[in-house]
Structure 1
Amino acid sequence: MIDVLIVGAGPAGLSAGIACAHHGLKVKIVDEFTRPGGRLLGQLHEEPNGTWWNGLEEAKCLHEQARRLDVEMECGVSVYDVKKTNQGWRVDTSHFSIEVAKLLLATGAAETAVPIPGWTLPGVMSIGAAQVMTNVQRVRVGARGVVVGVNVLSVAITRELQLAGIQVERMVLPARNVVNKETGNPLKVMQSILRVAHLAPSAIIRLGSKCLKSEALQKLALRFFPSSGISMWGVPIQLKTVALEIIGDKQVEGVKLVKVTPTGEPIPGTETVVPADFVCIAGGLYPLVELAAVAGCPFVFLPQLGGHVPLHNERMQTSLAGLYVAGNITGIESAKVAIAQGTVAGLSIADDLDKLQDKSLLCAAIEQVEIVRQNASIQFQTDIKQGRQSLHRMYEQHLSRFREEAKRPSSNILETNVL
């Protein structure tokens, strides 16, 4: 008899399974990928203190802990429906159907598409796909490439490609259009990469980034930003150059570029074509929330968290009884935060099933999430702390409204899924 089903075998799902099983619960984890680990499988970067974060090793460690605690795990399984029942939740998958008392969604995040002409050519891929091919499948994505899209994720993965011996010619922005408004805005992009400037190998870049606190100074810096870009690990990051088109007949052969003003307007006569045999497109990440929507979970839209996220509290409980969330489905953050959130979710489930003897463990785990967040070397979103505070406040307001409506004998409670 399974007590808890966890959808997602990434850092949040694995750590949640460990916490649940440690307190005597029967746990099953499913994931549509062929092996556990999620986004951890492709991660490899150097921390500010000089140590290396090896996602493969971290995933292996979590997987082994889960196995020692008899957590049942099944990969290659897709979940397509979840329904609330009187006893808990019914979950339908590509391999089986199951009813459980508690359901945790740890589905992670997906990449935002950034459409530019020629993006369907062979040799064009998302930056996340390049990471998986390089670090997990050990496949060389190409000999010489261009990264279109400059953000926290693309800067980190570009470094990983470089460490694998793959030449990245340059990083540029996509041309601005109705879809690429933010990713093609030089000022917005500058503000985003300032959050990882402390990881730059150049002391000048690290020092300069600390001086650019106000938007006025950032606009001034962008005005004098060299058109050739600033080199990071030998890769030019060009905030005033955009990709107009990916060139090629049967595969990628080059990228057509043009210089732009600080506001992103193309400068006529500055078009060039640079040769390349692969292109990585980076549009950032957004929470993968489809299953939460199918479950009927209320949502809020918070740009600080990456988009629409399910309403939930610090215990990772949603407003639907027996449904929990953890990891990037709750907002885009690092794998370390996801691991900490998974532990909270697991302990919260154990507590709700009267299996948690020491209540202080849950309080300590909630505090640990904030400690990990504060010490995170990489922040994917601005004002993440304020976003979390807003989310938890909205959760309490939502429950208060629901309770007030429930007290009215003649009321018909009609909830909206997006606030």
Structure 2
Amino acid sequence: MNAEKRTDALIVGAGPAGLSAATAAARCGMSVTVLDEYPREGGRLLGQLHEESKGNWWNGLREAHRLSEQAQHAGASVRTGVSVTGLEREESGDWTVWTSAGLYRAGALLLATGAAESVVPVPGWTLPGVMSIGAAQVMTNVQRVKVGSRGVVIGMSVLAMAIVSELRLAGIELSAIVLPPRHALSERASDPRSVLESLLRFAHLAPRPTLRIGAPLMGSAAIRRLVLSCYPKRGMQIWNTPLQLRRAALEIVGTEKVEGVTLADIRVDGSVIPGTERFVPADFVCLAGGLYPLAELAALAGCPFRYVPQLGGHVPLHDERMRTPLSRLYVAGNITGVESAKVAIAQGTVAGLCMAAEANPAPDAAELEAPLEEAMAEVRKARQEALIQFQPGIAECREEMYRARVGQQA
């Protein structure tokens, strides 16, 4: 049986937030252990590859390697392939954490578990060849596996559009990007009006100048309705793939594997126009939903939550210093709300510095106050300059979260 392991700070999640937190805490003299169940460190960074607004490329694999090297150089221990199975706070205030590699005890615990994908179910979605669009991203950019010869993407979101561009860069043909069928679980994802509103938030990244220029002109609901009523059924080309706001997938077709998708034209309200069904051949299908915070461990710890749709759903209550109401329990990254990797990196630095400040005697802790303020300012800057805003009003929602956190110490 593995012996009990003791560390000043235990970090669950070796993504951008966890690794940057490990660097900050280790540089302050803490013993730091980072655990992640995936075989490689980096989290969602591993699949990311896109061009930024100034023409430079964001290479997630390279960034993950840099952050991991930085953390280990600072003295942190990074262990992959380790699953956390349970945790509890002791009377002493320390945290006991059960893992597949044995028992850990830590003075401070940071949950940087990231986010997971949500998808809208479609008839036939259990066929081999159907995958989430995030899985297609990892297979393409990390595993270097071609997911298929010709595919259909069902669902339109910020995440989906970013990954579609990456799949096209890899030479993968996509027949169409369409909406999911309208049913009790699809909600706004099958409503062309709601989807158009969400797409307009990142129209500045559109590859066609007409889309970038035209998007600001669609500020009113009346103009958006007019645009949808005139929107071509065949869609508009995005990265040489038709974006079909007025078509929905009715069924994924196949016997032993994906053979194609049955599509139909839809009205502005998302209802199907009878008699417009058609079959589109495909050997793979990507289901594209959104992301939601992976917060199960925070719930297991007894942390209070708030439901904030703009942040992806239920998020652990926390303040700007990434502290939860539970003593010496911290959160950072997408577990606190879905945002960009750069925001997660900045949040991780805040969490690492805060763990070190609260672990040190008062005189030493005071020396970390200025770096902490600078790190929090960097989070706000990263959020403001983010290339993609997943939801509107994120900054305001966060401020409300921080106010709610005041006076919630356990």
Q: Which TM bucket (shorter chain)?
A: over 0.9
Give 2:172's aligned residue.
166
The one of 215, 218, 225 equivalent to 1:219 is: 225
Q: CA deviation at 1:212?
A: 1.7
Q: Give the length in aligned residue pairs.
A: 400
The one of 291, 294, 297 equivalent to 2:297 is: 291
Give 2:36's aligned residue.
31
Does structure 1 residue 267 correspond to structure 2 residue 285? no
Q: CA deviation at 1:397?
A: 6.1
Give 1:201's aligned residue.
207
Structure 2 Cα separation of the partners of residues 358 and 323 of structure 1: 19
TM-score, normalization by structure 1: 0.94
Verify the 8 A CA contact 2:260 2:282 in the aligned structure 1. Answer: yes
The one of 149, 153, 168 equivalent to 2:155 is: 149
Structure 1 Cα separation of the partners of residues 193 and 408 of structure 2: 36
The one of 182, 185, 191 equivalent to 1:176 is: 182
SS of the counterpart of 1:382?
coil
SS of the counterpart of 2:189?
coil
SS of the counterpart of 1:140?
coil
SS of the counterpart of 2:202?
helix
Alignment of 1:129-140 (within 5 A): 129-140=135-146
Structure 1 Cα separation of the partners of residues 156 and 378 of structure 2: 31
Give 1:391's aligned residue.
401
Verify the 8 A CA contact 2:35 2:79 in the aligned structure 1. Answer: yes
Structure 2 Cα separation of the partners of residues 157 and 279 of structure 1: 14
Give 2:339's aligned residue.
333
4+ runs of 1 displaced by more than 3 Å? none
Unaligned runs of 5+ in 2: 1-5
The one of 344, 355, 364 equivalent to 2:350 is: 344
Give 1:127's aligned residue.
133
**What RMSD in Å do the two structures reach over aligned CA positions?**
1.1
Verify the 8 A CA contact 2:38 2:80 in the aligned structure 1. Answer: yes
Structure 2 Cα separation of the partners of residues 385 and 102 of structure 1: 27
Structure 2 Cα separation of the partners of residues 270 and 122 of structure 1: 27
Does structure 1 residue 316 correspond to structure 2 residue 338? no
Structure 2 Cα separation of the partners of residues 46 and 215 of structure 1: 31
Percent identity of the aligned residues? 55
Aligned amino acid, residue 135 of structure 1: N
Unaligned runs of 5+ in 1: 403-419
**Which deviates further from its counterpart, 332-341 or 193-202?**
193-202
Give 1:70's aligned residue.
75
Verify the 8 A CA contact 2:123 2:251 in the aligned structure 1. Answer: yes
The one of 379, 382, 385 equivalent to 1:372 is: 382
SS of the counterpart of 1:3?
strand
TM-score, normalization by structure 2: 0.96
Structure 2 Cα separation of the partners of residues 203 and 397 of structure 1: 50
Aligned amino acid, residue 315 of structure 1: R
Structure 1 Cα separation of the partners of residues 225 and 405 of structure 2: 37
Structure 2 Cα separation of the partners of residues 269 and 85 of structure 1: 64
Structure 2 Cα separation of the partners of residues 264 and 390 of structure 1: 34
Does structure 1 residue 281 correspond to structure 2 residue 291? no
Give 2:3's aligned residue.
none
Verify the 8 A CA contact 2:41 2:68 in the aligned structure 1. Answer: yes
Give 1:236's aligned residue.
242
